[in-house]
Structure 1
Amino acid sequence: MHNSCTTEDLLQYLYNDLPAGERTKIEVMLQENWGHREKLQVLKEAQEQLNYTPLEEPRSQSLQNVLDHLYNSNKPEKRSYTTWYSKPAADML
């Protein structure tokens, strides 16, 4: 960890995803820096909103678009190579 708190550090602190030593360092920084405390408070409020916001089921067309994209992106591409050679490179060896 660094000498200052990043948003990622604060998120890990918020979700109790830090080793004890790093958590203690964050707690000290929070006591000393009101800006970090304010940022942590904003993250806590966002966490609460996420916990209580009902999730809607995605539209079936959206799911189909994602699946189509995944299917098409896994197909090998047909590439055409234009060169000034009269034969493919493999035949020239």
Structure 2
Amino acid sequence: MHNCTTEDLLLYLDDDLPAVERSNIAAMLQDNWALREKLQVLKEAKEQLNSAPLQAPKHKSLQNVLNHLYKTQKREKLAYATLYPKPAADIR
């Protein structure tokens, strides 16, 4: 592993890496002060997110998401009907 990305560090924090990659990152962390700092920032952010109280989304926000999904699905069905006006069984 030549570069260590933020995603790699998050996987390292969650212990979701194969042993070889985990040991490679551990070696990079020993040699690279900036990478250790980045890992520390990610660790602190993760701790803050885990300790923050969750609030239910507002009803209006949920309604907006559902409306968007409904409109998107309707457009996709319309596009499909335009491209394929006959059911697949009728096409020969």
TM-score range relative to shorter protein: 0.7 to 0.9
Separation in 1, partners of 2:4, 2:68? 39
Runs of 4+, deviation exceeding 4 Å: none
The answer as to 2:13 corresponding to 1:8 is no
Unaligned runs of 5+ in 1: 79-93
Separation in 1, partners of 2:60, 2:78? 25
Q: Which residue of 2 aligns with 1:43?
A: 42
TM-score (norm 1): 0.78
- How far has the Cα of 1:4 moved from its partner? 2.2
Separation in 2, partners of 1:17, 1:25? 14
Unaligned runs of 5+ in 2: 80-92
The answer as to 2:67 corresponding to 1:68 is yes
Q: Which residue of 1 aligns with 2:53?
A: 54
Q: Which residue of 1 aligns with 2:24?
A: 25
SS at 2:78's partner residue?
Answer: coil
Give % identity.
62
Instruction: Return the letter of the residue paired with 1:22.
Output: E
Instruction: Return the letter of the residue paired with 1:63.
Output: L
Instruction: Return the letter of the residue paired with 2:68.
Output: H
Q: Which residue of 2 aligns with 1:34?
A: 33
Higher alpha-carbon Rg:
1
Q: CA RMSD in A?
A: 1.2
Higher RCO (C-alpha under 8 Å, 6+ residues apart): 1
- How far has the Cα of 1:77 moved from its partner? 3.4
